[in-house]
Structure 1
Amino acid sequence: MQTKELSITKKNFWDRNAARYDRFMRKNAIAYDQLYALLRPAVWHKTVLEVATGTGQVAKHLLCSADHIEATDASAAMIAQAKRGNFSSKLYFSVQDMFHLPYADQSFDVVIVSNALHIVPHPEKALIEFRRVLKNDGTLIAPTFTHAENSHWGNLQALALKIAGFPLHSRWTSAAYLAFLQQNGWTVCKSVVLQNSIPLTYAECKKSKGE
């Protein structure tokens, strides 16, 4: 859902589908309830940046746990949907590019990127930017759909998404995804595979020492 590193066509996929995104995501409700349960203690009383927030589902579920959340997405249409019904001073939505964030170095206790690293080209470049804005003792939380382990139904879903123009760039297994994070300067402290038609691999990471 991010700019500059995406083509105009792929960026417009998110703009075109913003109004129906929440409805589309309902099929992942069980996995997302498990995701929220993992996230809440991790963001307790923390200053949080969420990139690729989409319509703000994750950010809104964490309001009662975090001290403050900056929730960003490259799609203006997604952010417009996210702002609807948000009256909290603890949560601020804005249009931003995950590869070129406007925040100062070491601004956040936690950076969350949910289900975005597999849909952007050069996700390792995004990880560099997350490292910059994350405090040295902070936590990167990067749950991602790992499409290489899809169920039969998940493969049918993925095919339908591909036909619709969904920009899938990385088709990882859970193990390959965690290895990717480690190869790019992150120590994976906690990981869980949440079962779904398209499995969701949850990863909590710290900056690797010496990187």
Structure 2
Amino acid sequence: MQEHKNFWDKNAGRYDRFMRKDRAAYEEMYALIWPVVKAKTVLELATGTGLIAKSIVNAAARIEATDASVEMIAEAKRDNQSAKLYFSVQDMFRLPYADESFEVVIVSNALHIVPQPEKALAEIHRVLKDDGVLIAPTFTHAENSFFGNSKAFFLKLAGFPLYSKWTSEEYLRFLRQNGWAVRKSVVLKASFPLTYAECEKTEV
């Protein structure tokens, strides 16, 4: 895991520029997230530079936005204008929060790049309220075009960690098999197909 933390630390300064090409898909995603987080307490995991958190904070009651990368969190804090938004360095596999602490948990574009994503889902299950909502948009690389596959290949050469290569259907099945009922899903058009999923807790 340390080498992958180093990858994100090294690339924190250029992350926002890299994500600009998917701005339209992200705007669609913000529109989907906004009503779910309205007046709710929110935890975001793998926040990166805080793109999502900063775009939805006006809707939420409070957001704790976390990432494993020290440099990503430093970038995120740099232009944080909201008193309702708190950034910190945390490990998504061992969160410091009590059981059922949050009404919404967001983990965006992260489950495919961590080993044992089912363990991250179990920890999310613990800190989310029983009537809460998990928002888990993830790039589903297995549905790539030839151009998308080429980009994925070069990203991997550059050290980009990619542990799980799902189709949208496979990803939603993975969520269901790990304690989640998918109540809404949409595939957004981005550099790689982006499967937006809203989920509720079931028995694990």
Q: Same fold (TM over 0.5)?
A: yes
Question: Can you give the 5+ residue segments of structure 1 that lack an aligned partner in the other structure?
Answer: 1-5
2:126 counterpart residue number: 132
1:32 partnered with 2:26: yes
1:189 partnered with 2:149: no
- The Cα offsets for residues 109-150 of structure 1, whole Å up to 9 and x where unpaired, read as 000000000000000000000000000000000000000001
1:10 partnered with 2:4: yes
Question: What are the within-5 Å matches in structure 2 for residues 1-211 of structure 1?
Answer: 6=1, 8-208=2-202, 210-211=203-204
Using the size of structure 2 for normalisation, the TM-score is: 0.98
Identity %: 69
Amino acid at match of 2:145: S
Using the size of structure 1 for normalisation, the TM-score is: 0.95
| Separation in 2, partners of 1:131, 1:148 | 26
Question: Can you give the 5+ residue segments of structure 2 that lack an aligned partner in the other structure?
Answer: none
Amino acid at match of 1:17: N
Amino acid at match of 2:122: I
1:31/1:194 contact within 8 Å kept: yes
Query: Displacement of 1:85 after TM fit?
Result: 1.3
Work out the number of aligned pairs and report it.
Answer: 204
Query: Displacement of 1:43 after TM fit?
Result: 0.4
- The Cα offsets for residues 60-107 of structure 1, whole Å up to 9 and x where unpaired, read as 001111010000000000000000111311000000000000001100
1:143/1:201 contact within 8 Å kept: yes
Moved over 2 A (4+): none
